[in-house]
Each structure stands twice: as structure tokens, then as C-alpha cells.
Structure 1
Amino acid sequence: MKGLAPRWAHLRAVLFDLDGTLIDSAGDLASAANAMRAERGLAPLPFAQYRPHGGSGARGMLGQAFAIRPGQPGYDELKSEFLDRYEALMYDTTRPFAGIESELAGLSAAGLAWGIVTNKAERFAVPLTTALRLGAQVVVGGDTTGHTKPHPAPLLEAARRLGIAPEACVYVGDDERDVIAGRAAGMATAVAAWGYLGVQADHSQWRADMTLSSTGELLKQLGLA
């Protein structure tokens, strides 16, 4: 194992977003939304329509399935139903992206800590990461601190739990809010370009410190491969 590149000699930890960065969960999210449509006599929507919204969870799935947004009448009831349906099937097809497990093993072999910071509630994030045996040293969910990304509080909480200064961390995510949160927390940032990204998103404009074209790219850019 090579040592860290000079630019990253200060690095002590890597924090990751979950959905669209470490795991491909869009299929199960879409299935929950389509099950709700079927219950109402509506035809299923194609997976390709749901996938770019995978990082937005219930908000993204319900927006596609029913053209409804938070704050509109009936949204909260639909959200509650969606979360219950998703919880029942969230292990069906969700898996780490190809190459993620070897990437994480490489970070650990280099002596770097790593953890997860996600807007997914702990109710889902903790059992899901346990079931997938990801081995994160810390998991901070969207309801852990009372703030969700792009607020920096969840990232700062993860660094605190690891006992590592924020400036010695890099945060990897597939949404612009991840880059905003990482920068606000004083961390370096990286875009997971294999992720969901959002509709018509131009991640080259997010001003991240690194853009990762594939799951093996992080170790290379850090100088570890």
C-alpha cells in the first residue's frame, strides 16, 4: 500500500454519503413508490424516471410518483406510507456499488478512519449499513443532529465521534448539497460521479476538490493505489 499523496498527507478520515455514493438503493425506493401507485390503480413508472431522484428519498420518490411536494395537502400521509413500505423491502435489491467494498478496505489498510453521513433517518441507515456489512466506524443519519445536509452539523458530528478534526476529513457525495455541507464543515470534498447526481446536474460546477469518475478513483487520487 502506497502512502498518501503530499496534498493529502494531513488526511485522517473519509466520510461518505450513503444512497448513490456507497449503495445503489434506487431500485428499492422506486419499488416502494410504484407499490403505492399500484394500490391506487396507477401504472408503474419506469425506473429510469426515479433513479436521478434516489438521493432525495421520500421527497424525490413521491414527487415523481404523485407530483406532490412537502407542504402540500396529503404529503405527510403519503410520506408515512412510503417510509413504511420502503422499510419492508429496503433489503431486496440494495447493494454496494461495484468496487466500493475494495475501496473501503483500501482506506482501512492505509490506516484511515471512515464513516457515513446521510440524510436517511437512522431508522433506515443503521440497520441497512449493518445488513450490508459495510463496517462504518460511525453512521450519522438525517435525524441524528436535528439538521440535514446541506447543513454542516451532521458532518461535524461524525468528525467529533471519530475524534478527528474536520479539516483532516474529506466528504464524498453525489449531490451538490454534499459539497456545500462539506465545505461548510471545513472538509475537503469529492463528487461520486457514478451516483444519482440529480436531474440535469452539472457536477463540474459544484467546485469540489475531487471528481471521482469510478469507485476505484478515490484511492488513486489520494495516492493509495
Structure 2
Amino acid sequence: MEPSPQLSAVLFDLDGTLLDTAPDMIATLDQLLVEESHQPIDYEYGRAHVSNGALGLIDIAFGELEEAHRLSLRDRYLKLYENHLATLTTSFAGMDAVLEHLEQTNIQWGIVTNKPGYLTEPLLETLGLLSRCACVVSGDTLPERKPHPRPLLYAAELIGLEPASAMYVGDASRDIEAGRAAGMTTVAATYGFIMPDDDPGAWRADHYVDNPVDLINLVERYA
């Protein structure tokens, strides 16, 4: 895809793209498993599924459950996680340099995530990112969630730009699907939480990056 029009903003997915939230999310899952008299999950196996959110983690940890029990465990998980949002979570290595580059070149950046706002905003605040980003669209900001394009289009509205001048970076097929439908340049973050049986090459992203710092060169191509 040719770099046109000029890039005005970069939007990021949160879990597995901007932040490595896996350590806290898997630690919380292990805490719940122990409460329920189960063994902790293999970390790398759990990490690959973090982008699927709380219910996805419940499913791989507990297997098939009656829906009421499944939702009850999800709610308990979220209560536990709320108390450990940023104990071990950090930006991915190199991401701080990416954000600094965007800010130094006057390219706005924001976040579009399926994570609910009551978890997203305190996490960003604790890490000193909330005041720096141009917008935050969480999973409960709108009735629609990714892969629907509406959250990305709403982010563009909040910043005040045309979707075609924005880039969306994510580590799941739903991110690329949403970005394509919104008319944005799409970037697959293959350094993120990719499940073993997933094939990012099938997502049809415009670009692929194996390391966050690769985004700097990519952004410069569109500047």
C-alpha cells in the first residue's frame, strides 16, 4: 500500500500491542485457578490467548462450563484483575521510543481497545500514558466493539481527522478487520499475543512489524 495521504495519527490496540499486560493478566488467572482448586496455567500458553480477554482466558483455563458459571468466573477474574492492573505490566520494549517519536513529529496517537474503560483508563493513568494520548476508545465506549469499525471511526472523530490519514496497529485479526473496514492503514503487530494456530499473514494487513521500533521507519514513510 502506498503511503497516501499524509499520516496524521497512529491508533493502537492496547493489550498485546501498546502494553505487555500478560504478566498481570496471567497472574490474576492463576490466582483464580488456585481459588477454584485448580493448577496454575502454563504461562506461555496463557500469554498467547490474552488478546481474547477475560472470557477467553476463562475458557482455556476451565474448559467447557455452564454459561452462568462461566460468567461468574469472568466477573470474579475481573474483580481480582482490577486490583493488579499495573503490578507487572509495562510497555513493550521499544514502544516508549515510538511514542516519543510520534510526539516529537507532531503525529497524534490514541488507543482503541475492547478492554472496558474502568480497567483501561486507570491502567493508562498509572503508567503515565492517559494524559499523553489524544483519545481513548474502550470496549464499552460505544455499543459496537472491534471487529466493527465504529470504534476506530469514532477515534478519528475525536481527534478530528479523516480515517484515511490514520494508521491502526493491532495484534489480532479483529484489529486488522476493523482497521480495513474503517479505511485506515493497518499494521499487524506480530510481536504481540499471537495464538499458535493463528496466521497473521492471512489477516491482509497493509504492513507487519515484528518489533515496536519498526513502527518508527514505517511512520516516517507516511510522514
Matches within 5 A, 1:210-221: 210-221=207-218
Query: Contact (CA 8 Å) 1:189, 1:208: kept in 2 or not?
Result: yes
Query: Contact (CA 8 Å) 2:5, 2:164: kept in 1 or not?
Result: no
Query: Contact (CA 8 Å) 1:191, 1:208: kept in 2 or not?
Result: yes
1:74 to 61, 69, 77: 69
2:41 to 32, 39, 45: 45
Indicate how the Cα distance of structure 1 residues 86 and 57 shifts in structure 2: closer, same or farther if over 3 A, else same: same
Identity, % of aligned pairs?
A: 38
Match of 1:122 in 2: 117
- When the two structures are superposed, what TM-score results if normalisation uses the length of structure 1? 0.93
Deviant stretches of 4+, over 4 Å: none
1:161 to 145, 158, 163: 158
1:23 to 11, 19, 23: 19
Matches within 5 A, 1:58-137: 58-68=54-64, 72-134=67-129, 135-137=132-134
- Aligned partners of 1:48 and 1:156: how far apart in 2? 34
2:185 to 183, 188, 192: 188
Q: Is 2:139 aligned against 1:142?
A: yes
Equivalenced residues, count: 219
User: What amino acid is the match of 2:9?
Assistant: A
Shift of 1:120: 0.2
Higher mean C-alpha deviation, range 171-180 or range 125-134: 125-134
For structure 1, list consecutive stretches of 5 or more residues without a partner in the other structure.
Answer: 1-5
Higher mean C-alpha deviation, range 126-135 or range 185-194: 126-135
Shift of 1:127: 0.9
For structure 2, list consecutive stretches of 5 or more residues without a partner in the other structure.
Answer: none
Shift of 1:125: 0.6
RMSD over aligned CA atoms reads 1.6
